[in-house]
Amino acid sequence: MTRYFRVSVGKDAAYLADALANNYVGTGWMINIDLTGQFADDWREFNKRFIPTLKETDHIESNVTAGLACGMTWTLGYTVSEGDVILVPTGQSSYRVARVTGPYTFTPGHGVVTQATRHVAPRHARAVLAERRTPQNTRK
């Protein structure tokens, strides 16, 4: 069964152009650490092991923030499977859609291509899926 996940590629879609050009999605956390074989069956085990690492490598002070970042990384690296669909916000009230076509890979020195990179099908990654509209009265 196809599952759907929303994954941002940098604040305000900072890495969107690179992700589209190279057909990947990634979390951007612990970018110089190869997590191949490190995704435990339980996210709590993964968090327990990698929160201290993430706090050091990404200069995060809060355990809560580090826990959320680890959770995102675990979800993308462990839970997301081939055939699943990733919704990527463009930062302009729309999304790109990508179908996962490969397993987790690690590519050092490639910006946001990180520990939780998933290869995606380019024809899906380049199509605008839908516009997200925010009612004026809910904006701050």
Which of left, alpha, beta for 58 (phi over 0: left; psi -120 to 50: alpha)?
alpha
pLDDT exceeds 60 at position 34: yes
CA distance 11 to 77: 20
Dump pLDDT digits (tens) for 56-115: 988 999 999 999 999 988 988 888 888 888 888 888 888 888 888 878 877 665 443 333
Nearest residue to 70 (alpha-carbon basis) of 85, 78, 86: 78
**Structure confidence at residue 124 as a pLDDT band (50, 70, 90):** very low
CA distance 138 to 40: 39
Q: What mean pLDDT, rounded, does the chain reach?
A: 77
